[in-house]
Structure 1
């Protein structure tokens, strides 16, 4: 009989085999891995990774693992996990977990894929390669445990300032790494204990390199916890539970009953599902960005037609998206004025738009000052189970245009990106990092990852 959340999570992960994973979960896991590797490739050219390369070369370490997006960097497994996690979140283009419990803010639980994916890519390298089935099984175990813990913890964890992808992501990475190196139930419980003492990240660092570093550290710390346990290091084996457990210490408690006995029943990847991002910024902004694009197109507006734009929304959008005017691309990810300006000026927001040069350009700086946000109590009263907003446009010729966003947003489980759209995103992410032929070959391998004899085939291409 289950006695604790820690035990339940560890037993699920230890017992999970590839044959236990339903076909629809395998299919979605492949999609998450395609997307995750793609955003790692895109992020590998971010300024934060140039800093990280200098840091890793100076501290050194045994060259046990290759990394995604760099042909010459060979580092320790924890360091490889750090690099992969940092690059995977550098552009804020990685997928997001949806909430299902009461009072859980929509889209604000965690970015589920990158911490466990970064961990298994690093551990598989250290092991000299593992089967595709083993890689995918460990990844699924990590995602499931990570998301269920994020669901169980009190929403105050995020609302009061923790960055869940850095904190709860550590548990996903630890479980995925522990599973891949063959720890048993007791070993995985201990690895969760180690993760609990290293899980960190605060939202004050949003808009800086510190935000993606949270995810890099979550992957690194999860791998470290698993490897320490493998060598005999001890940790508390009830570290999620009780008065001094992580849920109480970092979240004013929680509600383990929401998830106890439900690991894999159903898998989070299927229900409530995962959102794959069309834009490299917070998912809370995406419906408003699509709405701005639609208003421009449907009314045949040009940038010169825009006198002013007002975005009306609830605090679930306005609090995290906190910069009034962006002056860097990192700030731009949390600045509605920039995000809507990008849609007004270019009708898109991708790799080319998320650059300091574009954010600082005179036309963007001028357009941002025509865009403002406003709290709307009616939208607030609709609840936080959807990402709702309204856009009001005043044109230079005096027209007033108002439109509300749709409950179904692009990328969410109710309106998912097609496989073709996902492939287009992957190839965009890989552009300038891998050759077109290598990008296509890598993507095709991930689509059939469970058939691989050795995971080394992925890094042979992804590190090229």
Structure 2
């Protein structure tokens, strides 16, 4: 006996023209269309991203990819960060750069004011868009700093708008937003520099939509940063194929079989009226530049732990137990109760709190397998637990809320609430000086002090550069010779 089943998409806003709108935005947006604040924040994101490529360039997950790429060979199109002049095919370079940029989970986070979104878990917007622009600039050559920044901000805008507009089922179903939606950021930035137009632009979105992938089960492993690497590679590949005349559906974002329906169940009908580039997402709601190399959901708790330890002069030997209280938006994704290695530690509240207690900080040096696996770290993590708090849960997911209670061996107890204006967010941003300090910590052990100074200097004056591909030479060891 047959039955008629209701179309599951019948009540969803799928009759859209997002693909066409995105393509027209890429084709027509000009440098003059960007407000000064967009350029200022974009330059900060550029500097942050450049430092992160270097930070990840000597990570195991990047060394494996880079060694395989160098062994495989191919057309020498684009440089790799930290590899002293090594060039590989453009899509492969994008894969390695994207993985390096996300290797430490230190890259920026998109901000949303929508209480239906899980805060902080939209996309990490800079690395895909920046990688797309950097690789495409090397492919084409002679891309000015102004043209480069326009392409970077174009990719950033397309990526963040799609991430904001698509329904939150994308993340709730287990997709990694940066690995999926990041593909469009890399593609849009590359398409702008490679001067794609008309049907080429629309085909490119269709190709990118079929390549987008990444699932959250791999958080805490090497494959998590590879999600962003593949997003960058796929974005570049889509641009190259589309430019060569490779066809795809010209409306791949739209309809019941389009990207938005299949991955997220639709889009918000109210939000899509914002359009691309009318308000720029990098400025409003903004972007969070991370002070810690781990999941952003841990950051307010880390700052609270640091405050409690400093104000009360608490030593690790004084602590009997620590309890962190939070809602499901933090406790579910930050899922490792005891981190055994650095990758797990990026998604472990006991790990980052233990780092703060033991070393008074949680940076690149703390997020190593040696430090996380040390006896002191393993012992301290055993004294730290997390607890679901219904009162915090009831306040919603528009902020990252948590509380910490510390019980000392002598019976004294200290408790505090995390600052909802978390450090690094639009309401409490890192200063330019703090950002430069972060970049210096990223490059430590890879670039010399003078090389790092040069990298920072040229990032700030990006608009004056005649050829933006110079930025890639600054990511190489011994870059003073360029």
Please report how far the alpha carbon of residue 49 of structure 1 lies from its aligned counterpart in structure 2 after TM superposition: 1.1
Distance between the aligned counterparts of 1:102 and 1:262, measured in 2?
20
1:221 aligns with 2:228: no
The correspondence for 1:308, drawn from 318, 321, 334, is: 321
What SS class does the counterpart of residue 273 from structure 2 fall into? coil
Q: Provide the residue aligned with 1:343 in structure 2.
A: 356
The correspondence for 1:157, drawn from 167, 170, 179, is: 170
The correspondence for 2:150, drawn from 126, 129, 137, is: 137
Distance between the aligned counterparts of 2:448 and 2:311, measured in 1?
37
Distance between the aligned counterparts of 1:240 and 1:210, measured in 2?
26
Please report how far the alpha carbon of residue 125 of structure 1 lies from its aligned counterpart in structure 2 after TM superposition: 1.0
Please report how far the alpha carbon of residue 72 of structure 1 lies from its aligned counterpart in structure 2 after TM superposition: 3.6
1:147-296 alignment runs, 5 A limit: 147-296=160-309
1:85 aligns with 2:112: no
Distance between the aligned counterparts of 2:316 and 2:447, measured in 1?
35
Please report how far the alpha carbon of residue 261 of structure 1 lies from its aligned counterpart in structure 2 after TM superposition: 4.2
Please report how far the alpha carbon of residue 57 of structure 1 lies from its aligned counterpart in structure 2 after TM superposition: 2.2
Q: Provide the residue aligned with 2:440 in structure 1.
A: 427
Distance between the aligned counterparts of 1:27 and 1:72, measured in 2?
30
Distance between the aligned counterparts of 2:269 and 2:237, measured in 1?
26
Please report how far the alpha carbon of residue 134 of structure 1 lies from its aligned counterpart in structure 2 after TM superposition: 1.1
What SS class does the counterpart of residue 458 from structure 1 fall into? helix
Please report how far the alpha carbon of residue 65 of structure 1 lies from its aligned counterpart in structure 2 after TM superposition: 1.1
What SS class does the counterpart of residue 404 from structure 2 fall into? strand
Q: Provide the residue aligned with 1:99 in structure 2.
A: 112
User: Is the 1:171–1:192 contact (alpha carbons within 8 Å) kept by the matching residues of 2?
Assistant: yes
User: Is the 1:101–1:258 contact (alpha carbons within 8 Å) kept by the matching residues of 2?
Assistant: no
Q: Provide the residue aligned with 2:463 in structure 1.
A: 450
Distance between the aligned counterparts of 2:373 and 2:108, measured in 1?
27
Please report how far the alpha carbon of residue 444 of structure 1 lies from its aligned counterpart in structure 2 after TM superposition: 0.9
Distance between the aligned counterparts of 2:371 and 2:68, measured in 1?
28
Residue by residue over 1:54-110, the C-alpha shift from the partner in whole angstroms, topping out at 9 and shown as x without a partner, is 221233210111122211421011111111101000000000001133401110100
Please report how far the alpha carbon of residue 256 of structure 1 lies from its aligned counterpart in structure 2 after TM superposition: 4.7
Residue by residue over 1:205-262, the C-alpha shift from the partner in whole angstroms, topping out at 9 and shown as x without a partner, is 0010000000000000000001101001011111111100011101122225413343
Distance between the aligned counterparts of 2:283 and 2:148, measured in 1?
19
Residue by residue over 1:397-439, the C-alpha shift from the partner in whole angstroms, topping out at 9 and shown as x without a partner, is 0012111111111000000000000000011111121111111
User: Is the 2:115–2:397 contact (alpha carbons within 8 Å) kept by the matching residues of 1?
Assistant: no
Q: Provide the residue aligned with 1:362 in structure 2.
A: 375
The correspondence for 1:126, drawn from 133, 139, 149, is: 139
- Aligned-residue Cα RMSD (Å) equals 1.2
Structure 1 gap ranges (5+): none
Deviates more, 1:367-376 or 1:250-259: 250-259
Q: TM-score w.r.t. structure 2 length? A: 0.94
User: Is the 1:162–1:202 contact (alpha carbons within 8 Å) kept by the matching residues of 2?
Assistant: yes
User: Is the 1:179–1:188 contact (alpha carbons within 8 Å) kept by the matching residues of 2?
Assistant: no
Q: Provide the residue aligned with 2:80 in structure 1.
A: 67
Structure 1 segments (4+ residues) deviating >4 Å? none
User: Is the 1:8–1:261 contact (alpha carbons within 8 Å) kept by the matching residues of 2?
Assistant: no
The correspondence for 2:127, drawn from 114, 118, 142, is: 114
What SS class does the counterpart of residue 86 from structure 2 fall into? strand
Distance between the aligned counterparts of 1:395 and 1:356, measured in 2?
28
Q: Provide the residue aligned with 2:480 in structure 1.
A: none
Q: Provide the residue aligned with 1:23 in structure 2.
A: 36
Q: Provide the residue aligned with 1:439 in structure 2.
A: 452
Deviates more, 1:207-216 or 1:431-440: 431-440
Q: TM-score w.r.t. structure 1 length? A: 0.98
Please report how far the alpha carbon of residue 456 of structure 1 lies from its aligned counterpart in structure 2 after TM superposition: 2.6
How many equivalent pairs are there? 463
Distance between the aligned counterparts of 1:363 and 1:318, measured in 2?
24
User: Is the 1:60–1:75 contact (alpha carbons within 8 Å) kept by the matching residues of 2?
Assistant: yes
